[in-house]
Structure formats: C-alpha cells, structure tokens
Structure 1
Amino acid sequence: MSEAHTDAILVLVTAPTADKAAELARALVEEELAACGNVVPGLRSIYRWEGKVHDEPEALLVLKSRAPLFEALRERIVALHPYQCPEVLRLDVAAGHAPYLQWIVDNVRATRAE
C-alpha cells in the first residue's frame, strides 16, 4: 500500500443549510482554493453563543486543500459566509493515498513557495 507524506489539509466549516454549504464549496473550488468540498447535511449543532445555548440544524462542509493556501481559503470563507463568526478549522493530513494527494495538488492554485 502506497502512502505519501503531504501538505494536504482538511478544513471544516459549518453552514446554516446544505445549500449554503454547497454554494460555499462551489465558489472555493471554482477559485481553486479547494480541490473538493463535501457537504454533509443533517447536523444538529448545540453550542453557546452570546451567553445562550442554541440547538440548531446545520450542514458540515469538508474541504480538501493544501497548507500554503489555508490563509487565503480562510479569508475567502469568512468573506462569503453568512455567520458573524464562522467555524473554519484546519486539520493537517499526516499521510494518505499518493494518487489522491497528487489530485489535490493538481486541482488547487500553485503557491509561491513551490
């Protein structure tokens, strides 16, 4: 089994609806900040906001990108997102299937560091 080390990242973003998550994913993929966005509908989020506990339906957007693009990706998510304080969490990928990791590289913007 081939495994490769990488600068690939997953970025988790919650959204108020699956349609809004898909809209965000489409924009980010079209702008080549993410190679892919998976929309996971049907979340139930329980959280504290402005001193109150909320229980709301949401959708989860899982984006695949690269570490050098994270700051540009984060800024764009914040600009497009309807929430005042959107969830934008970066998870570094330690290793993965080499052909898939190369697909991520091939489908996002080149970075100046390369």
Structure 2
Amino acid sequence: MSIPDPAAPAATVAPTATAPALGSPTPDEADPSVYCQVVTTMASQEQADRLAAGIIEARLAGCVQILGPVRSVYRWNNQVTFDEEWQCVIKTTTARLNTLTAHIRAQHDYEVPEIIATPIFGGNEDYLDWLSAETTAS
C-alpha cells in the first residue's frame, strides 16, 4: 500500500448533468422540514424507559430506541466528567418537535439536558408515512 503525496492535488470528480444541486431533494427524498431524529441521554435505564413510554403514549414520536449503557465524557463545572448514560434516539415530525422538547425538559433531572434534533432527509416512504400517522393520531 502506498501513501499519497500530501503535496499532490486531490482528485476531483465533476458532477454529472443528472445530479441534483447540493441541497436539492430528489423526488424520492423526504422533505427535511417534515421529519427529524432527536437524541437525548438519561442517567438510568429506568428513566430512559419512562421517558420513552411517555413520549409514545403522548404521540410525540413514533419510535424511541434506547441504547446503553453508553459512556459520556464532558466538561461540567470546570471538571472532566465520566458518566454512564442511556441514549434515547427518537423519531418524530418537526411539527411535534417543540412539544417533544418541552416534554423531555419536564421529565429530565439534568440541569442542561441534551436535546439535539437532526433532519431526516430520506428513508422508507412507508415508514415515514407510519411515523406521520403515529404522531398525529389521537
């Protein structure tokens, strides 16, 4: 295996005539303003389970996946901190995002809970339709 010369110019690939412009959705992509994935962490599996159940019961999301334990390393009060947490990955619509954020904040015992939303740019259309139905049904 050879190591490329760092002084050599990087290869570039010209866009094809059929490629959409950067940021332009193709017809089979979901509208990024409609769906999002939200991540938060909880201090225990029991707290994560309660949060997830409350989110689903309130129809604030279609699905919550709980991963853990995960190891989080961060600076808090000027000290490097190591904590074991459970990560909740929440699939929802942007129409429910503000209410979901308020729900997480109300249920959370952290002073500054992690609540990060990222847009969903595409996926299984049937799943996204189900997600819409789960977050709008009463």
**Identical amino acids, percent of aligned pairs:** 28
Kindly state the Cα deviation for residue 8 of structure 1 after the two structures are TM-superposed: 1.2
2:30 equivalent in structure 1: 5
**Runs of at least 4 residues off by over 3 Å:** none
Greater RCO (CA < 8 Å, at least 6 residues apart): 1
**Separation in 1, partners of 2:131, 2:28:** 15
Amino acid of the structure 1 residue aligned with 2:40: V
Aligned counterpart, 2:118: 91
- Return the alpha-carbon distance in structure 2 between the equivalents of residues 18 and 10 of structure 1: 20
Q: CA-atom RMSD, angstroms?
A: 1.4
Report which stretch shifted further, 3-12 or 94-103: 3-12
Counterparts of 1:11-90 in structure 2, within 5 Å, are 11-90=38-117
Q: Deviation at 1:45?
A: 0.3
TM-score by length of 2: 0.75
Answering whether residue 130 of structure 2 is matched by residue 108 of structure 1, we say no
Q: Is the 8 A contact 1:3 1:97 kept in 2?
A: no
Return the index of the structure with the highest Cα Rg: 2
Give the number of the structure whose residues are more often strand, by fraction. 1
- Structure 1-normalised TM-score? 0.90
For structure 2, which runs of at least 5 residues remain unmatched after alignment?
1-26
Matched length: 109
The AA in structure 2 aligned to 1:78 is R
The amino acid that maps onto 1:105 is: S
Whichever residue aligns with residue 20 of structure 1, its letter is Q
Give the Cα–Cα distance (whole angstroms) in 1 for the partners of residues 109 and 39 of structure 2.
15
